Amino acid sequence: MNRPKLIDTIGQFTAVPNAAIKSIAEIGPEAFTLFVYFRYRTNSESEVAFPSYDTIQRDTNFHRRTISRAIWTLVQAGMLERQKRFGRSTLYMVKIPPTVVPPLELTVVPTVELTVVPPLELDIKTDPIKTDPIEIESSCAGAQKRQTSPRQQALSTLEGRFSSISHIPIPASKTPRERKAAAVRWWVPIADMWELCGRDTDRAVSLLELAYAKMVKDKLTISAPQSVLEVFKALYAEQARAREVKTAGAVATRRVYRAGQVVEVAA
């Protein structure tokens, strides 16, 4: 998508699609600002932009978390594609926003007077309707499964947090093969983290952030939650041992009456 150059007496301009302007209410001002910025930074020949986070932060004066959240919003809205490169800045490709379909105009058709013909009396023997309770129970169970459960909400929170801090997009899961790969590398490890923390979402998020920071500090490769799971377990075990030592160091006491005074002694 080449970037057309518009010049007038004020100076040079960067063209922005009308559909992007109409989507401000949906994506928010920060995401729209980054869309225009990536449009401005796009190379007219390679059709990609590759500014680093430091460059984006310097040019926009946005916080790094704001930049990460805005990029994620653009990706979800289909307005941006990104390609992570190890040791180099990420490639960004601006996409044309989906076209908004205008509402259909309804035409009122005048009613037509119809002559009602009485139905024919037919002697047809029909069997009574049989209702299978198993089918009804299955249908109700399916409707309940479609509702978002607390477990799904917690796993979605962990999944989104990992993608936010690592800048790694959540994998596609349209085909059975994609779903199987995503389960091994994403969903199962994230569920293990949540279960290990006693289904405490806040604690799991905190440990996930610590594990990610430790791997970044140690310069270890991070490609999916699966690669963080072992460090996550090690940090959990370390915290558990620290709590045990703290509990063992506490001395139980009891109050007794001595020489007319109440004093505390070891139990």
10-57: pLDDT as tens digits: 556 778 888 888 888 888 999 899 899 888 888 878 888 888 888 998
Q: Supply the pLDDT for residue 140.
A: 44
144 in any annotated domain:
no
117-148: pLDDT as tens digits: 666 665 555 555 444 444 434 444 454 445 57
Indicate if the pLDDT at residue 160 is higher than 80: yes
Question: H helices within 77-149, ranges in order?
Answer: 133-146
Between the alpha carbon of residue 249 and those of residues 244, 245, 252, the distances in Å are 9, 6, 10
257 in any annotated domain:
no
Q: Which CATH number covers residue 88?
A: 1.10.10.10
Print the domain residue range for 15.
Answer: 5-94
81 in any annotated domain:
yes
107 in any annotated domain:
no
Indicate if the pLDDT at residue 83 is higher than 70: yes
Domains contained in the chain, number: 2
Q: Are residues 77 and 158 in the same domain?
A: no
135 in any annotated domain:
no
Distance in Å from the first CA to the final CA of the chain = 78
Q: Supply the pLDDT for residue 84.
A: 81
Q: Is 237 exposed, middle or buried (0-12, 13-18, 19+ CB in 10 A)?
A: exposed
Q: Supply the pLDDT for residue 58.
A: 92
Pair of tokens at residue 79: 């307005």
41 in any annotated domain:
yes
- Of 73, 94, 115, at which residue does a domain stop? 94
166-180: pLDDT as tens digits: 888 888 777 888 888
Q: Supply the pLDDT for residue 11.
A: 58
Q: What is the mean pLDDT of residues 226-245?
A: 87
Report the share of the chain in percent with pLDDT over 90: 8
Handedness of CA 70, 75, 81, 83 (dihedral sign): positive
